[in-house]
């Protein structure tokens, strides 16, 4: 199936859109396999941290694009949490159709100026841009999980920057390994009413299934999940090695991690469908 853009997926999806982070080739394979089992579109995300892990964007981007193009369901490949303008430009050259530019650590004026400049550059090249207003709690310990986005500020930020989607702080927190985050559903509805672009929930790994469903009903569109899948992958590998301590062929245990991620993606896409 031809590669698609997030804009097509978000515009056509009746409910929430699952966006899952890729670290290894096996993550991309698992996410697409899980989406195919669910019969749902999906977004493969490559973060700046994953690029740093590989030492370059090109290898993991090429692998993700190849997996996406061979999929039986619509798949978009997206650059996630890029703080480096040069990385954004490289992603566009490599064929990624969307980017998340993260200037949230800057003060408001600098954030707006940098994000508006990136958005204008990307739009000239047909690339969709997500941004973040304020930093979602938990990432690098910068803000407490209690930080919240104000609806009128979110609307003004979108107007001033021209971004296509906005990640907002409503109670989730990055890198959670427990699923007990409490979201402010009323605030989600208020922001949704005020902001004319799709809303993105970062830190969704810590959000229980029923709360994810409620968040989508109240106006969240793109749901980002990374840590939860990493936990499923690692737990499956750990369990296999505990039973098979003499295993040395990485394919024998990595396969179990890949299969666990695929199952969880299928489940989560079902949750997002309502």
Catalytic residues: 80
As a whole number of Å, the end-to-end CA separation of the chain is 25
Q: What is the DSSP letter of 135?
A: P
Q: Which residues pair with 76 in a beta bridge?
A: 43
Ramachandran sector of residue 119 (left: φ over 0; alpha: ψ -120 to 50; beta: rest): alpha
Contact between 200 and 209 (Cβ < 8 Å): no
Distances (CA, A) of 189 to 114, 203, 223: 28, 18, 15
For 224-251, give one letter per residue: b (16+ CB within 10 A) or e. Answer: bbbbbbbbbbeebbeebeeeeeeeeeee
In this structure, the number of other CB atoms found within 10 A of the CB of residue 10 comes to 23
57 near 46, Cβ under 8 Å?
yes
User: What does residue 46 show for φ and ψ, rounded to 5 degrees?
Assistant: -120, 115
């Amino acid at each position: 199936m031809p590669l698609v853009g997030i804009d097509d997926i978000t515009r056509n999806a009746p409910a929430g859109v699952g966006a899952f982070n890729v670290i290894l080739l096996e993550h991309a394979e698992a996410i697409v396999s899980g989406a195919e089992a669910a019969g749902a579109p999906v977004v493969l995300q490559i973060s700046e941290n994953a690029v740093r892990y590989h030492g370059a964007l090109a290898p993991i981007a090429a692998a993700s694009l190849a997996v996406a193009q061979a999929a039986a369901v619509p798949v978009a490949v997206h650059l996630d949490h890029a703080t480096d303008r040069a990385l954004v430009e490289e992603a566009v050259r490599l064929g990624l159709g969307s980017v998340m530019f993260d200037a949230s650590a800057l003060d408001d004026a600098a954030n707006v100026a940098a994000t508006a400049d990136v958005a204008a550059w990307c739009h000239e090249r047909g690339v969709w841009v997500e941004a973040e207003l304020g930093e979602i709690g938990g990432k690098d310990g910068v803000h407490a999980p209690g930080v919240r986005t104000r609806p009128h500020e979110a609307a003004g930020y979108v107007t001033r920057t021209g971004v296509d989607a906005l990640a907002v702080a409503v109670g989730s927190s990055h890198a959670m390994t427990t699923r007990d985050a409490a979201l402010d559903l009323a605030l989600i509805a208020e922001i949704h009413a005020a902001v004319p672009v799709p809303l993105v929930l970062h830190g969704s790994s810590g959000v229980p299934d029923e709360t994810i469903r409620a968040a989508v009903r109240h106006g969240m569109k793109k749901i980002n999940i990374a840590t939860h899948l990493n936990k499923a992958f690692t737990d499956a590998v750990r369990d296999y090695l505990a039973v098979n301590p003499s295993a040395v062929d990485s394919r024998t245990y990595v396969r179990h991690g890949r299969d666990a991620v695929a199952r969880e993606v299928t489940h989560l896409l079902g949750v997002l469908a309502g």
